[in-house]
Amino acid sequence: MRELIIGKNDAGQRLDKFITKTLRLPMSLLYKSIRTKKIKVNRKRAEAGQMLAEGDVIQCFLAEDLFTLGKKNADSKTVVAERELKSLAGELKIIYEDENILLVNKPQGLSVHEDEGARANTLIGYIQSYLYKKGEYKPDCEQSFAPALCNRIDKNTGGIVIAAKNAEALRVMNEKIRGREIDKFYLAAVHGIPKPAEDTLYAYLTKDERTNTVKVYGKNPPRGAKEIITKYRVIARRDDEALIEVELLTGRTHQIRAHMAYIGHPLLGDGKYGVNRDDRRRGYKHQALYSYKLRFSFSDEAKTALDYLNGKEFSIPKDEIYFAKEFFK
């Protein structure tokens, strides 16, 4: 029999989710073990969806070779991860940091996660390495948690990304994002001058997973299309181009790029929803889009560990964004 003690970063999750992350048991064996009381919580019969609290003790009456296999797999992953954490030297542009979260200015061209085709050389890799070297992230002491991103932006879009240092911060921030309690603002350079100079656009969007592209519809959208709401404001003009501030009222894949192209104003440098041949000659290697400002606008419905952030706003100066500063020369 083995015992697993629930720590601070393990609490607040379902029993089955915790066991899956920690022991890596086959799903069929996991649920059978819970059902037949070979996995208990505080020596009592447990349910798969039971929420764990700090200090709970999980008793696992399983064959020793299952623990050996799980531990071996976990250790080999941890060793590789720690080796990479020690050697990573990616530069982080930190906008804000406290004991719970990090706000980082992600450069264009950097993937946020390894599922975008990279491995450790990703934004989350650099963040975990940074916290590891500071002594704030100790993989050997964690059973089911690692510092994680709360939001993500495309590889070729730059801007503010939120990272959580602990499980409670991750849970709260994810709830706030789902509840649209964080206001997100982007800067974009577009072809043409949008008219009117300020507007809120409503449309519908579908995504083609095969090509990783989206299509925008006005009236009579196809079944399964999702509503998109995009608010923009022209803040500078240069010849037949405009710098706009965009507030995302919904957050769909490629929403800003596709919605602006749909109304006839594709982003500079955007070859997916516009023609960027001439833009590239001018030095636009990526779409001219930057997540430059966010504001925490939490509701007062429930107290959380992150309430001290409510009302705070963080931004990247416009003169630090290459395409934006061109409009103010």
CB-based contact 160:294 (threshold 8 Å): yes
Percent of the chain with pLDDT over 70: 93
> Rounded mean pLDDT of 281-310?
92
Binned at pLDDT 50, 70 and 90, residue 143 comes out as: confident
Q: In whole angstroms, what separates CA 44 from the centre of its chain?
A: 37
Catalytic residues: 154
Classify domain 89-167 by CATH number: 3.30.2350.10
What are 94-135's pLDDT values in tens digits? 999 999 999 999 999 999 977 544 557 889 989 999 999 999
Domain boundaries, the chain: 2-62, 89-167, 182-328
Classify domain 182-328 by CATH number: 3.30.2350.10
> Rounded mean pLDDT of 233-240?
96
Classify domain 2-62 by CATH number: 3.10.290.10
- 265 CB contacts (<8 Å, ≥6 apart)? 190, 191, 192, 194, 242
> Rounded mean pLDDT of 203-214?
95
> Rounded mean pLDDT of 280-301?
92
**Identical fold between 89-167 and 182-328:** yes
Q: What is the DSSP string of 58-114?
A: EEE---HHHHHHHHHHHHHHHHHHHHHHHH------EEEE-SSEEEEEEPTT--SSG
